[in-house]
Structure 1
C-alpha cells in the first residue's frame, strides 16, 4: 500500500491497527461494518434450539463468527480474473 499512496509504512500500520480496533468494537455492538468499496463485515452466531423463548440464554449460543460480503468491484474483478488449470 505504501507504493500506492503518500503514507509511510508506519502510518499504514497504525491505520490498520486502528481499523482492527474499530471493527472489533462495532461487531461487538452487533453493528455491520461497511468498508466502502471493500464490502462489509457482520457478526453471526448459531445456537441450540429451545422449546420456549424464556429458556433462551447466553448459554444457548454455540458458535460466533464473522461473515464478509465483498463489494461489487471485488466480485467483478474475480469474475474477470480468468482461471487456468495448472
Structure 2
C-alpha cells in the first residue's frame, strides 16, 4: 500500500568474487530514509487501538516472549498478514548421514516469510534514484 512515496536507491559497483578479473558490474541498492523505533510503534498501536500505551507495551513484550517460546519449541509462528517465522539452521556437507550430528550445526537463524499483504506491498513499490 505505497502512498506514492518512492523507495530511494543508489547505484553501487561489485566485483564478482568468483571471477575477479571480470569487469565490475553496477547494481541498485536501497537507501533507508530513517528508522521506525519501537516506542513510536507502541504509540501508534495504542492510538489506533484506543488502548493505553502501557497496555500496548504489555501486549508487545508478551507477544515477543510467546513467539520466542514457540520458536524454541520448533514451531512455525504465523502472524496473520505479517507473515511467518521459523528457525533455520546451517551446517557443512558430509559424506554420510552418520557424520551429521548436532555438533556440525554452524549457525541458527530465524527465517521470515512475508504474508500476503506484505508481498502485495512489495509488488506495488515505486523507486527513485538518489
The TM-score normalised by the length of structure 1 is 0.87
What does the per-residue CA deviation read over 1:31-74, in whole Å, with 9 as the maximum and x for residues that have no partner? 10000111100110011233333333221110000011111111
The residue number in structure 2 matching 1:15 is 59
The answer to whether the 8 Å contact 1:49/1:60 transfers is no
The residue number in structure 2 matching 1:45 is 89
Higher relative contact order (CA 8 A, sep 6+): 2
Counterpart CA distance in 1 for 2:63 and 2:123 is 28
Over aligned residue pairs, what C-alpha RMSD do you find? 1.4
Counterpart CA distance in 2 for 1:66 and 1:43 is 5
The residue number in structure 2 matching 1:64 is 108
Counterpart CA distance in 2 for 1:85 and 1:9 is 38
Counterpart CA distance in 1 for 2:60 and 2:127 is 31
Partner SS for 1:74: helix
Counterpart CA distance in 2 for 1:78 and 1:49 is 34
| Residue correspondences, number | 86
Q: Could you tell me which runs of 5 or more consecutive residues in structure 2 were left unpaired when the two chains were aligned.
A: 1-44
Q: Which structure 1 residue ranges, 4+ long, deviate > 6 Å from structure 2?
A: none
**Larger radius of gyration between Structure 1 and Structure 2:** 2
- More helix, by proportion: 1
